[in-house]
Every structure is written in C-alpha cells, then in structure tokens.
Amino acid sequence: MSLTGSAAIDVARSALVASRRLATLPNTARNDALTALHQALDKNRATILAANARDVEAATRDANNGNLNHSVLKRLDLSRPGKYDDMLEGILSVRGLDDPMTLRTLLDEGLSLERVSCPIGVLLIIFEARPEVIANIAALAIKSGNAAILKGGKESMESFVAIANVVSEAIAGSQVPVSSIQLVKTRDVVSSLLAQDSFIDLVIPRGSNELVRYVKENTKIPVLGHADGLCSAYIHSDANTKMAVKVIVDSKTDYPAACNSLESLLVHQDVLETILPEVAVALIDKGVSLRCDEASMAALASTLLSDQLSKVQPSTETDYDTEFLDLVLAVKTVPSTGDPASAVEAAMAHINVHSSKHTDIILTESRDLATLFMSGIDSAGVFWNASSRFADGMRFGFGTEVGISTNKIHSRGPVGLEGLTIYKYLVRGNGHGAGDYHEGQGGRQYLHTSLPIAE
C-alpha cells in the first residue's frame, strides 16, 4: 500500500493536531507516558529481540551477498551487549530532564518578560537500520511536546513493527494523544510526506549519505542532521604517547560503524618515528588497516614488523574524504615548520577542507595550542585529548538523542531535548501600554532588570 496525496496530508494534519494538544499537557502527564513506554519495552524485550534477530539474519545474507553495507548490519543489531539496556536507560534519562527557562527580565514594575522553551511542532524522522531510534525519538518527542512521524528502512522492518506496536499500546494508556507518535510502515511514503510543509515543521534523516542528500534535495521543510561523519584527529609534536594511543584506538575501534568514529589521523612530522608507530601497532592489533601518505608510510616501514606492515598501504586523496565506517583509517603527515602554531594551523586547514563538521580532536600538552585548534576548527564538536566517541547525547547527559546535527542554526552537535525545542517570549503585565514609555512629562522608563531564572 502506498501513502500518497490525501493520505499523507491526513497523517501530517493529525500529527499537527496532536502536537498542539501534547504541548498543553503538564510535565507529569508526559513523564507518566514515558514510564509506561519504558515498562512496555522492557516487558516485551524478548519479542522485540526475536523480531530484530530476523532482521539481522536477513541483513547478514544481504551483506554477505554484497547487497548491504556491513556497517548497516552493525547498527541494526539490538542484541549487541548493552544496546537494549541503553535504549531503556535513555527513556528514563529523558524523563528526568526539566523544561528550561532561559531568560527572565523585569521590564517595569508589574511588567515581566520570560523566554521559555516550547515544542517545534511536528517532526518527520526518516531512518535506516537503527531500530532503537523509534524508542529514542518517541521519548524525546513526548517529553518535548512534539508530535513525530517515523519511517523506518526495509532492513529493520521486523524490529520496526514490533517496537511500533509496543509504543502505540503504551501511549494509548496515557494522556498523550495516540497520533502524537505515528509509525508509518508503507513503502512509497517519503516523497509524499516531504511535500507536507504546511503541517510538518522539521525533518530529521538518520542513515546513509544518500538518504540525507535525497531528503535535503526534495523538501521545503527545514532539515536537521548530517550526511557524513568524517571525524579527524591531529597528534601534535608534544602529545603524550600513552594518551595518544588510548584516545586514537578508542576513537577508531570502540564502534567503527558509528558516525563519531575516527576516519582520518593527522600526525606531526616530528613524531612519525616515535608516537605514530606505537599508535599504529595498537590499531593494527585491533584489526585496523592504515592508508598512509608517503612520509608516514616510510616511517612505519622502518619501524613495524613485516606482518604488521601487511595492514599498511598507500593512501589516495579520496581516502581523506571517505567515511569508512569500518576498521580503516587514513593517515596524513603535517610538515614540521619549527613553529608549533603553524603546524596546528596546517592541521586545521586540512581538517576544515575535508571534515564533515562533525567532531575533530587535537592531542597536545599545550593549552594554548589546544585553544587555537578548538577555536579554529569549524565543527559541531572539537575535543582536546578526548575520544571522538564522546560526541553522543547520552554521554553529554542529554538523556538520548535524535542524531548529530552539523547545522549552524537552531541546534548543533548531539540533538537531545533542548534541540527539539524552540522558545517563545511570555510577557505578563497589568494594563501596560507601549505608548506609556517615552521621554518627557508623564513618561515611564524601562527597568530592564535581569531576574533569577524561576525554579
């Protein structure tokens, strides 16, 4: 069955109506719905994991036949240690968050101004592989007061249906309108929903580069997300070797299929034969293949064992623009100029050209050089002596996230509860008029006194 024309309008319109009702519910009612959602997903764990196992089995066949990327397969599997529990914990973490008030001003006696958070409205989330996205976004949407329309990919359909049924049943027993979370299962739906700019306020695509670009090119609705996760790290000449090894290995191997895993490594020329070999050996021991430029290749050729060198090969220029999502890492040398700041600036120049503006790292003992790097890198996340894998809503304390945004408006980086809200201004007066405020006889003057944010 296709969802086109009037059917797509009906889905979007009902979501809009639900969002307006949801926005008026007290925080306690939303939290009660999240408690019910958590309990239902925990109770139905076996059913959901069984459905997910069927998806994984089919996806494994497709991956082995070359019809599916292995990184998609890794993202699909809910049975990975801790993944299901993380999904459940994310719901509880979201439940505990407060609605923020960001400004409170006394304009005049009896006349106050507040800036408070409010829902964006209706969200359309289109995702591939990751079935936990349904629970993550359902929780964030309910808590933030947004309605959400979710469309999953065919590779996660069994999981999608199982989780969708549990979510729908949990919401039905709460004060949250059932149409606040609509889980669309029909195939030919995306283009029709992308046309509903009168009802849908924001599109969040989560998946391949192709999916994100398709969405951006085929809708008038604002799009939040990122196409690639081309994360880079730069090892400066003064970096601590032990620290560099730990951070680089964690960034690359903790979960290679994630968008916050490391894809490019820049190394200062002065440490090609000291720090780089130790980093390389640690990576190779974890199964990582290195694609090196001429200088780093020569350095490793003189320091690594022959069996280790089998995991090292020359790089091409396209390697520095590739999101491998696998145990592959591109390595490039930053020339030594004698001026530490110049070397950092050279690394910054490379990253700003090749990066997808997701997350980038510097390893250095110098606070000044780290500050230079963190100020000059044009990315959503810039880290000093810390793994790129920290670019995550749960790790940031956001409860959970709907994705990572590389946008430069509204929300950037891991998008959690705050990223799914906008704000409105509330003015409370007592018959005040703008014409009362003027110079001269009888005129009133503004106080513009900042007030403490209300509890």
Residue 437 in any domain: the answer is no
Instruction: Mark whether 257 and 160 lie in a shared domain.
Output: no
pLDDT tens sequence across 18-57: 999 999 999 999 999 999 999 999 999 999 999 999 999 9
Q: Give the total number of structural domains in the chain.
A: 2
pLDDT at position 5 is 52
DSSP-derived pairing of the beta strands 262-268 and 231-235 = parallel
Q: How far is CA 147 from the centre of its chain?
A: 19
> Which residues of the chain register pLDDT less than 70?
1-5, 100-101, 187, 227, 454-455
Instruction: Mark whether 279 and 362 lie in a shared domain.
Output: yes
pLDDT at position 393 is 84
CA 262/CA 219 separation, integer angstroms: 31
CA 344/CA 279 separation, integer angstroms: 20
Instruction: Mark whether 189 and 205 lie in a shared domain.
Output: yes
Element (H, E) at 193: helix 190-194
Instruction: Mark whether 29 and 168 lie in a shared domain.
Output: yes
Instruction: Mark whether 271 and 302 lie in a shared domain.
Output: yes
Instruction: Mark whether 391 and 261 lie in a shared domain.
Output: yes
CA-closest candidate to residue 270, choices 329, 360, 372, 340: 340
Instruction: Mark whether 271 and 341 lie in a shared domain.
Output: yes
Please say whether the beta carbons of 244 and 363 come within 8 A.
Answer: yes
Residue 449 in any domain: the answer is no
Residue 443 in any domain: the answer is no
Quote the Cα angle for 151-163-127, to 5°.
Answer: 25
pLDDT at position 3 is 46
Instruction: Mark whether 43 and 127 lie in a shared domain.
Output: yes
The CATH number linked to 19 is 3.40.605.10
Residue 307 in any domain: the answer is yes
pLDDT at position 273 is 95
CB burial readout 278-314, b (16+ within 10 A) else e: bbbbbbbeeebebbbbebbbebbeebbeeebbebbee
What phi, psi does 30 have (nearest 5°)? -65, -40
- The boundaries of the domain holding residue 320 are 231-396
Instruction: Mark whether 221 and 236 lie in a shared domain.
Output: no
Instruction: Mark whether 22 and 152 lie in a shared domain.
Output: yes
Instruction: Mark whether 192 and 157 lie in a shared domain.
Output: yes
Residue 108 in any domain: the answer is yes
Residue 447 in any domain: the answer is no
The CATH number linked to 297 is 3.40.309.10
pLDDT tens sequence across 243-271: 999 999 999 999 898 889 999 999 999 99
CA 250/CA 255 separation, integer angstroms: 8
Residue 31 in any domain: the answer is yes
Tokens of 258: 């994630």
Instruction: Mark whether 157 and 247 lie in a shared domain.
Output: no
What phi, psi does 147 have (nearest 5°)? -90, 150
